[in-house]
Amino acid sequence: MSSTTTGWVRPKIEQNWLIRLLDWKPFLIFICLLPAIGLLAVFLTYPLGLGIWLAFTDTTIGRSGRWVGLENFEFMFEDPIFWNAVFFSVFYTGVATIGKFGLGLWLALLLNNHLPFKSLLRAIILLPWIVPTVLTAVAFWWIYNPQFSVISWMLIELGLRDTNVDFINTAWPARWSLIAANIWRGIPFVAISLLAGLQTISPSLYEAALLDGSTAWQRFRYITFPMLLPILAIVMTFSIIFTFTDFQLVYAITRGGPVNSTHLLATLAFQRGIPAGQLGEGAAIAVSMIPFLVFATLFSYFALARRKWQQGESND
């Protein structure tokens, strides 16, 4: 007598449309990205689009404007105050960025060595970056104040001057004073970022270079700088963007004075758009900043392309 056994097969259950949709990978990717897309649309795309639209209208506070085309830009290009703001924005960004990177790189190289209380020193260096910008600006305003400046007091006490230094009531001293304040505030960001990059470089590279009899400058030129270049490009890009769009520091210390000599494009756009009520004109000045920011982004992209040789790839 023989018996035949057949295995029990579970009947296939037809999945409904919702389960099939949730199993579809492109739909899951879209769902995961939807919150980020929504935030970018609300807080980035809409304000940017509205600003560009206002730049082509004669909108003022309390009155809807009409389309005027390039009229705001034509007036802006004929305005000497605008070109003064363009000059000072570029000058301010260039000098401050060079100063921050020079001192920041020096601090990063110093902190990368074995020093006593190294952790405490890193925390102290971060303080200028942690303090809110407005508090920093108020502190520098007191330092630069013609009557209460601690710098003037020290110079007079040391017998180096007979009168107080006028830091912010004349054009060029005010410009250099703002640059010094920006450098002081931006050094920690550069130093800590570059320090993190320095600690990713393998010590064996320096040991091999020492065995070959290399000098300190040669080790920096052929090892430190090339390996640090990708991080340098990223940090420099952010530094240029933060400096070029600076508002709080300049507005709190000088408000664009004396005689509009320290206006950046950001402060001039605010002055024309809000206190003066010319929203269209202020938006046009703000839109004129976009090419400079695009240039900074492209600089980072092309500088990062040099990282390919580190990964064994060819530069296309």
Q: pTM for this one?
A: 0.84
**DSSP annotation of 163:** S
Token output for 139? 């502190």
Nearest 5°: phi and psi at 60? -125, 170
Per-residue pLDDT of the chain (316 residues; tens, 9 = 90+): 445 555 565 655 566 777 777 778 888 888 888 898 888 888 888 888 989 999 999 889 888 888 998 999 999 999 999 999 999 999 999 999 999 999 999 999 888 887 787 778 878 888 888 888 888 888 998 889 888 888 888 888 888 888 888 888 889 999 999 999 999 999 999 999 999 889 888 889 888 988 888 888 898 888 888 888 888 888 888 889 999 999 989 999 999 988 899 999 999 999 999 998 999 999 999 999 999 888 887 877 776 655 554 554 555 4
Q: What is the reported pLDDT for 13?
A: 59
List, in order, residues 6 or more apart from 126 with CB less than 8 Å away: 188, 192
Token output for 92? 């301010």
CA angle 207, 228, 247 (to 5 degrees): 150
Q: Which fold has domain 95-306?
A: MetI-like fold (1.10.3720)
Q: What is the reported pLDDT for 172?
A: 92
Q: What is the reported pLDDT for 227?
A: 87
Question: Are 187 and 107 in contact, with CB atoms under 8 Å apart?
Answer: yes
- Tell me the one-letter amino acid at 64: S
Q: What is the reported pLDDT for 309?
A: 46
The answer to whether the bond into 188 is cis (omega within 30° of 0) is no
- Closest residue by Cα to residue 191 from 136, 303, 117, 109: 109
Q: What is the reported pLDDT for 15?
A: 64
Per DSSP, what are the bridge partners of residue 63? 60
H helix or E strand, kind and range, residue 138: helix 133-144
How many CB atoms sit inside 10 A of residue 262's CB? Answer: 26
Token output for 211? 């065995």
- First-last CA distance in the chain: 77
Token output for 17? 């449309």
- Domain residues of the chain, as ranges? 95-306
How many CB atoms sit inside 10 A of residue 261's CB? Answer: 17
Question: Which three-class secondary structure state does DSSP give residue 1?
Answer: coil
List, in order, residues 6 or more apart from 208 with CB less than 8 Å away: none
Distance, CA of 124 to CA of 130 (rounded, Å): 10
